[in-house]
Amino acid sequence: MLGKILEYQKTEQELINLENELAKSKDREKAAEIQQTLKNQHARLVMLEDAARKINDSYAKATAKYEDYAKKLDKLEAEMQNADESKMEMYEKTYKDFAAIGASLEKDIQNIYTSVQQISKEYEDIIKKSKTDRERFDKFKAAYGALKNDREPKIAAVKAELAKLEKELETKAYMAYKQKREGNLFPVFVEVANNRCGGCRMEISASKLGQMKSNDLGIIECENCGRLIYQK
């Protein structure tokens, strides 16, 4: 009675094993992990490029401002050489103010330059690491691709076999099987072993086992895991 449905279940187990082998492939996991790293690196590079543009703009503005103050300072120095004694104190104060502004701008320019160097170094480091990661990604992707190319024809063949078997199944047995599978239960049919469920190993009473004889399919449902238990 259950011969065909058990064959169907065994064939579906083959399919599950093949699909799990692909889904749980270490090469696939590594490729996905490195791919995410590459995406993060790309996002960081975009941020660095944006930051570099802004810093370069700041550097250009600070440099232009510094050059402007330098010219004004030179002009002031020239004026001081020919200034009246009465105006010298005013010129000296102005000179000190200009010199302080120039020194501050010079410090700002140096800080901007340092930031540019840091961004440039990080950018180059990421580029180098991305190259290495890309090579690793290609390696794992190729390995997974080889596995996939090998398994996919087998998966297709097993699916074809399942479709063929499905047409030969006894309706009641298949409906019971399908209902359990919709709840992601597998295996659905398990053999009783030492008065225990072949799935969850829960002990089954003698009276419960006796119900197999009165069941059309010769099965009982495990009260613990819900699997359908049969006896050879």
pLDDT tier at 85 (50, 70, 90 boundaries)? low
Domain endpoint, select from 168, 198, 215: 168
Judgement on whether residues 134 and 214 belong to the same structural domain of the protein: no
Judgement on whether residues 146 and 219 belong to the same structural domain of the protein: no
Judgement on whether residues 150 and 217 belong to the same structural domain of the protein: no
Judgement on whether residues 42 and 117 belong to the same structural domain of the protein: yes
Residue 192 is predicted with a pLDDT of 95
Q: How far apart are the first and last CA of the chain?
A: 11
Judgement on whether residues 191 and 206 belong to the same structural domain of the protein: yes
Query: What percent of the chain lies above the pLDDT cut of 90?
Result: 66
Looking at per-residue pLDDT, the higher value among 84 and 45 belongs to 45
In angstroms, the CA 99 to CA 76 distance is 11
Number of domains in the chain: 2
pLDDT exceeds cutoff 80 at 70: no
Least confident piece of the model among 65-69, 166-170, 202-206: 65-69
Judgement on whether residues 100 and 182 belong to the same structural domain of the protein: no
pLDDT exceeds cutoff 80 at 127: yes
219-224 mean pLDDT? 94
Nearest to 226 by CA among 196, 183, 170, 191: 183
Residue 106 is predicted with a pLDDT of 80
Residues across the chain: 232
Judgement on whether residues 59 and 120 belong to the same structural domain of the protein: yes
Q: Looking at residue 10, which CATH number applies to its domain?
A: 1.10.287.1490
79-92 mean pLDDT? 67
Residue 99 is predicted with a pLDDT of 74
Answering whether pTM is above 0.75, one says no
Judgement on whether residues 163 and 48 belong to the same structural domain of the protein: yes
In angstroms, the CA 119 to CA 217 distance is 73
Judgement on whether residues 220 and 185 belong to the same structural domain of the protein: yes
Q: Is 140 exposed, middle or buried (0-12, 13-18, 19+ CB in 10 A)?
A: buried
Residue 135 is predicted with a pLDDT of 97
pLDDT exceeds cutoff 90 at 25: yes
pLDDT exceeds cutoff 80 at 78: no
Residue 87 is predicted with a pLDDT of 64
Domain endpoint, select from 146, 168, 190: 168
pLDDT tier at 143 (50, 70, 90 boundaries)? very high
**Which residues span the domain enclosing 219?**
175-230
Judgement on whether residues 113 and 206 belong to the same structural domain of the protein: no
Domain endpoint, select from 168, 198, 214: 168
Judgement on whether residues 186 and 134 belong to the same structural domain of the protein: no
| pLDDT tens figures, 180-201 | 999 999 999 999 999 999 999 9
Judgement on whether residues 109 and 188 belong to the same structural domain of the protein: no
Which residues, at least 6 apart from 140, have a Cβ–Cβ distance to it below 8 Å? Answer: 27, 28, 30, 31, 34
